[in-house]
Amino acid sequence: MNVKSIFIFLSCILWIPGLLSAQQVKLTIQVKTPKNTPIKDSLLVIGNQDVWGNWIYPKSRSMQKINDSTWQQSNTFPAGTTVHFKVTRGSYYKEAVYNNTGVPQEIALQLKKDTTIVLKPSNWNDLYQRSITGTVRYHHNFSSPLLKNTRNIVVWLPPSYFSSPGKRYPVLYAHDGQNIFDHTNGAGEEWHMDETADSLMKKNKIEEFIIVGIANTKDRWIEYSGTPEGYNYVKFIATELKPFIDGHYRTKKDKANTAAIGSSMGGLISFYMVWLYPEVFSKAACLSSGFYFDEGDILAKCLASTSRLNGSRLYLDCGGLDLDKDFLPDNQRMRQVLSANRSIQLLYKYFPNDKHNEYAWARRLYIPFLFLFGKS
C-alpha cells in the first residue's frame, strides 16, 4: 500500500460515524430510601446534565423503582465528565439528606470509567423539619480548636422559650445528637427526645429545659471512653461548647442546672462529665452505660473514692438482653459503689426484657427526665 492509499484509508476510518466522539462511560445511581419515604412519591435526580434537566427538576425524568425501598437510574456520559447532582422526591423542597444534618448535599463525581454509586439517605429535608416536635436551631460544622474537628450541634428549645423572653432554662447536653430527635441510623430508630420532653413539660410534670444534641464523629468509640481523647471531648463540652450555648441562648449557667445524658458509651461519657467537671455538671442520666468497655476504668476510680460526685444527681439503668446482658454486671457494681455515698442522689433501674437499642431507651426516657427535672 502506497502513501496515498494509506492516507485515503485513514481518512475513511476517521469519518466512520462515532469514532470522533469521546469514549462513553455509564453512571448508575442506586438509592436506598429511608423508611419514612412516602410510598406514592417518585424519585428524581436533578443535576448539571441535560438528562437531569440542568438543575431544572421538572425537566428530569423519574428513576426506576426496583422495589419498595430501592430506586435506580443509568445514563451514559463522555469519559472525563464531571457530574453534580442531588436526589429528590420531585422538587428542591424534597431533597435527600445524609447523616441527618438537615442540609441536602450535592454529589460530585468525575467519570473515568463505568461507575455505580449507592446512596443511602437518612431522611428528606421536608420530612426532617416536620417530624421534630418543637423548635430547633442548627449549628452545622461547629468547630473545636481543642479537638481540631467539627461536628453538628442541634439545640431544642422548650415550649415557652419565645413566649417568655425573660425566662432562663436549665440545659441538658445529649450525646449521639443525630439520633435523639429524628431517624438517623438507617434502622428508623430514634430517642423521640423532643416528643417526650414536650409532653412532660406541657403536662407540668417536669421543668422546661433546653436540649443540646451533640453529634458523634468517626472517633465516637475513643471520645466516649476514659481515654485522653475522651477527657478532651468532655473538656470541649465544658470549656468550648457550653460557653457558646450560654452566650447564644437564655440558659441557667450554674452546675445545678446543667446535665448530661447518653446511652451505651454515651452513658459512660455522661458519667465522666460529672466526674471530671463537678463544678460544671451536677446531673447525668446514664442509660445502658458501657462501663464494661471503659479504657479509663471509672469503676475502679469510684471504688477508691466517690467524693468527687458529692451532691450530684445520677440516673443509671440497664436492660437484660442483647449487649445490655454483658453490660449489666458492671452497672450493678457501679450502683453498689454509688449507693454507699449518701450525698449522691442515685436512681437505678433494671429492665430485664429490654435490648440495647434506641427503641428501649426512648421507651424509658421519661424516667430520667422525671428524676433530673421533675417538679414533684
- Asked whether residue 255 carries a pLDDT value surpassing 80, the answer given is yes
CATH of domain 21-123: 2.60.40.10
- Asked whether residue 17 carries a pLDDT value surpassing 60, the answer given is no
Residue 261: CB atoms within 10 Å: 28
* DSSP sequence for 100-154: T-SS---EEEE-SS-EEEEE--SEEHHHHHHHSSSEEEEEEEEEETTTTEEEEEE
In tens, the pLDDT along 152-209 reads 999 999 999 999 999 999 999 999 998 898 754 444 478 999 999 999 999 999 999 9
- Asked whether residue 70 carries a pLDDT value surpassing 50, the answer given is yes
The proportion of the chain whose per-residue pLDDT surpasses 70, expressed as a percent, equals: 90
Domain 132-373 has CATH 3.40.50.10490: no
Total residues belonging to the chain:
376
The proportion of the chain whose per-residue pLDDT surpasses 90, expressed as a percent, equals: 79
By the 8 A CB rule, do 264 and 250 touch? Answer: no
In tens, the pLDDT along 291-315 reads 999 999 999 999 999 999 999 999 9
pLDDT at residue 94 in the model: 87
Domain ranges of the chain: 21-123, 132-373
Residue 356 sits at the vertex; the CA angle it makes with 347 and 368, to the nearest 5 degrees, is 25
- Asked whether residue 32 carries a pLDDT value surpassing 90, the answer given is yes
In three-state secondary structure terms, 28 is: strand
The arithmetic mean of pLDDT across residues 126-132, rounded, is 70
> Which among 250, 249, 224, 227 has a CA at the least distance from the CA of 237?
224
- Asked whether residue 125 carries a pLDDT value surpassing 90, the answer given is no
Per DSSP, what are the bridge partners of residue 318? 350
C-beta contacts of 176-179 below 8 A and 24+ residues apart: 176/214, 176/215, 176/216, 176/220, 176/262, 176/263, 176/266, 177/152, 177/153, 177/212, 177/213, 177/214, 177/215, 177/216, 178/99, 178/100, 178/101, 178/152, 178/154, 178/213, 178/215, 178/216, 179/358
By the 8 A CB rule, do 325 and 291 touch? Answer: no
The arithmetic mean of pLDDT across residues 222-246, rounded, is 98
Query: CA separation (Å) from 193 to 47, 151, 163?
Result: 36, 20, 22
